Amino acid sequence: MKVIVQRVKSASVSVNQKIVSKIGPGYLLLVGMKEGDTMKAVEFVARKVSNLRVFEDEDGKLNRSIHDTQGEILSISQFTVYGDVSKSNRPSFTDAMQYQEAEAFYHEFNRILEEEYHLVVKTGVFGEHMDVSLVNDGPVTIIIEKS
Protein backbone atom coordinates (compact mmCIF):
# COMPACT_ATOMS: atom_id res chain seq x y z
CA MET A 1 0.00 0.00 0.00
CA LYS A 2 1.24 3.45 -0.85
CA VAL A 3 -0.21 6.79 0.21
CA ILE A 4 1.08 10.13 -0.98
CA VAL A 5 0.28 12.71 1.70
CA GLN A 6 0.13 16.35 0.68
CA ARG A 7 -0.36 19.00 3.34
CA VAL A 8 -2.94 21.41 1.96
CA LYS A 9 -4.63 24.68 2.80
CA SER A 10 -7.67 23.39 0.88
CA ALA A 11 -8.60 20.69 -1.62
CA SER A 12 -11.60 19.52 -3.60
CA VAL A 13 -12.57 16.74 -5.96
CA SER A 14 -15.08 16.92 -8.80
CA VAL A 15 -16.74 14.25 -10.92
CA ASN A 16 -18.47 15.33 -14.13
CA GLN A 17 -17.79 18.97 -13.25
CA LYS A 18 -19.62 18.68 -9.91
CA ILE A 19 -17.74 19.03 -6.62
CA VAL A 20 -18.31 15.86 -4.60
CA SER A 21 -16.03 16.68 -1.64
CA LYS A 22 -13.95 19.55 -0.36
CA ILE A 23 -11.85 20.28 2.71
CA GLY A 24 -10.07 23.14 4.40
CA PRO A 25 -6.60 22.72 5.94
CA GLY A 26 -5.38 19.15 6.31
CA TYR A 27 -4.23 16.35 4.02
CA LEU A 28 -4.93 15.33 0.47
CA LEU A 29 -4.22 11.59 0.31
CA LEU A 30 -3.55 9.75 -2.95
CA VAL A 31 -4.19 6.14 -1.97
CA GLY A 32 -2.97 3.11 -3.94
CA MET A 33 -3.15 -0.60 -3.23
CA LYS A 34 -0.97 -3.28 -4.80
CA GLU A 35 -1.41 -7.00 -5.25
CA GLY A 36 -0.47 -8.82 -2.07
CA ASP A 37 -1.36 -5.98 0.29
CA THR A 38 -2.97 -7.04 3.56
CA MET A 39 -5.26 -5.43 6.10
CA LYS A 40 -2.20 -5.18 8.35
CA ALA A 41 -0.66 -2.83 5.77
CA VAL A 42 -3.89 -0.79 5.69
CA GLU A 43 -3.87 -0.52 9.50
CA PHE A 44 -0.16 0.44 9.53
CA VAL A 45 -0.56 3.19 6.95
CA ALA A 46 -3.71 4.57 8.61
CA ARG A 47 -1.82 4.79 11.92
CA LYS A 48 1.09 6.56 10.22
CA VAL A 49 -1.23 9.08 8.54
CA SER A 50 -3.00 9.74 11.83
CA ASN A 51 0.23 10.27 13.77
CA LEU A 52 2.26 12.03 11.06
CA ARG A 53 3.69 15.31 12.38
CA VAL A 54 4.04 17.71 9.46
CA PHE A 55 2.37 20.86 10.81
CA GLU A 56 4.49 23.60 12.39
CA ASP A 57 4.53 24.16 16.12
CA GLU A 58 5.13 27.57 17.76
CA ASP A 59 8.86 27.24 16.98
CA GLY A 60 8.27 26.56 13.28
CA LYS A 61 9.23 22.87 13.57
CA LEU A 62 7.18 20.10 11.97
CA ASN A 63 5.93 18.76 15.27
CA ARG A 64 2.12 18.83 15.14
CA SER A 65 -0.27 16.19 13.83
CA ILE A 66 -3.56 16.56 12.00
CA HIS A 67 -5.26 15.97 15.37
CA ASP A 68 -3.44 18.97 16.85
CA THR A 69 -4.60 21.22 14.01
CA GLN A 70 -8.12 19.76 13.74
CA GLY A 71 -7.46 19.29 10.02
CA GLU A 72 -9.53 17.33 7.53
CA ILE A 73 -8.60 14.63 5.05
CA LEU A 74 -9.55 14.31 1.40
CA SER A 75 -8.83 10.71 0.41
CA ILE A 76 -8.58 9.92 -3.30
CA SER A 77 -8.21 6.41 -4.70
CA GLN A 78 -5.26 6.42 -7.10
CA PHE A 79 -4.12 3.11 -8.60
CA THR A 80 -1.64 5.01 -10.78
CA VAL A 81 0.74 5.43 -7.82
CA TYR A 82 1.78 1.88 -8.74
CA GLY A 83 2.50 2.76 -12.36
CA ASP A 84 5.84 1.20 -13.35
CA VAL A 85 7.86 2.91 -16.08
CA SER A 86 11.12 1.04 -15.50
CA LYS A 87 10.84 -0.94 -18.76
CA SER A 88 9.07 1.54 -21.05
CA ASN A 89 7.61 5.01 -21.23
CA ARG A 90 4.06 3.69 -21.01
CA PRO A 91 3.21 2.84 -17.40
CA SER A 92 2.42 -0.73 -16.49
CA PHE A 93 -0.15 -1.19 -13.75
CA THR A 94 0.33 -4.92 -13.22
CA ASP A 95 1.34 -4.32 -9.59
CA ALA A 96 -1.89 -2.47 -8.80
CA MET A 97 -4.53 -4.41 -6.89
CA GLN A 98 -7.60 -5.59 -8.80
CA TYR A 99 -10.59 -3.23 -8.74
CA GLN A 100 -13.01 -4.96 -6.33
CA GLU A 101 -10.40 -5.87 -3.74
CA ALA A 102 -8.79 -2.43 -3.97
CA GLU A 103 -12.15 -0.77 -3.44
CA ALA A 104 -12.75 -2.79 -0.25
CA PHE A 105 -9.26 -1.95 1.06
CA TYR A 106 -9.72 1.75 0.23
CA HIS A 107 -13.02 1.93 2.09
CA GLU A 108 -11.55 0.09 5.08
CA PHE A 109 -8.59 2.50 5.16
CA ASN A 110 -10.97 5.48 5.28
CA ARG A 111 -13.15 3.77 7.89
CA ILE A 112 -10.14 3.23 10.15
CA LEU A 113 -9.13 6.88 9.85
CA GLU A 114 -12.67 7.98 10.75
CA GLU A 115 -13.74 5.49 13.37
CA GLU A 116 -10.52 4.46 15.06
CA TYR A 117 -8.58 7.73 14.76
CA HIS A 118 -11.59 10.09 14.87
CA LEU A 119 -10.54 12.09 11.80
CA VAL A 120 -12.82 13.91 9.37
CA VAL A 121 -12.43 12.03 6.08
CA LYS A 122 -14.02 13.02 2.80
CA THR A 123 -13.54 11.04 -0.39
CA GLY A 124 -13.71 11.08 -4.13
CA VAL A 125 -15.65 8.46 -6.07
CA PHE A 126 -13.78 5.17 -6.39
CA GLY A 127 -13.08 4.21 -10.00
CA GLU A 128 -14.35 7.46 -11.52
CA HIS A 129 -12.40 10.03 -13.50
CA MET A 130 -11.86 12.82 -10.98
CA ASP A 131 -10.59 16.38 -11.16
CA VAL A 132 -8.64 17.14 -8.00
CA SER A 133 -7.79 20.71 -7.01
CA LEU A 134 -5.55 21.67 -4.14
CA VAL A 135 -3.63 24.49 -2.58
CA ASN A 136 -0.46 22.78 -1.41
CA ASP A 137 0.84 24.12 1.89
CA GLY A 138 4.62 24.37 2.07
CA PRO A 139 4.74 22.32 -0.08
CA VAL A 140 4.94 19.32 2.21
CA THR A 141 4.62 15.93 0.50
CA ILE A 142 5.34 12.62 2.25
CA ILE A 143 5.11 9.08 0.85
CA ILE A 144 4.04 6.34 3.25
CA GLU A 145 4.43 2.79 1.95
CA LYS A 146 3.98 -0.62 3.51
CA SER A 147 4.40 -3.96 1.75
Distance CA 121, CA 91 (A): 30
78 catalytic, yes or no? yes
115: CATH: 3.50.80.10
Residue 94 DSSP class: T
| Torsion sign (Cα): 44, 42, 129, 10 | negative
Among candidate residues 6, 17, 38, 80, the one labeled active-site is 80
Contacts of 3 (CB under 8 A, 6+ apart): 29, 30, 31, 32, 45, 49, 143, 144, 145
Q: Label residues 128-143 b or e (16+ Cβ within 10 Å = b).
A: eebebebeebeebeee
Among candidate residues 6, 44, 55, 79, the one labeled active-site is 79
pLDDT (0 to 100) of residue 147: 80
Distances in Å between the alpha carbon of 1 and those of 18, 44, 66, 67?
29, 10, 21, 23
* Number of domains present in the structure of the chain: 1
Per-residue pLDDT of the chain (147 residues; tens, 9 = 90+): 999 999 999 999 999 999 999 999 999 999 999 999 999 999 999 999 999 999 999 999 999 999 999 999 999 999 999 999 999 999 999 999 999 999 999 999 999 999 999 999 999 999 999 999 999 999 999 999 998
E strand or H helix at 64: strand 62-65
Distance CA 147, CA 126 (A): 22
Among candidate residues 6, 55, 78, 105, the one labeled active-site is 78
79 catalytic, yes or no? yes
Chain centroid offset of residue 110 CA:
9
80 catalytic, yes or no? yes
pLDDT (0 to 100) of residue 88: 93
Full residue range of the structural domain in which residue 131 is found: 2-145
Strand partners for 29:
5, 75
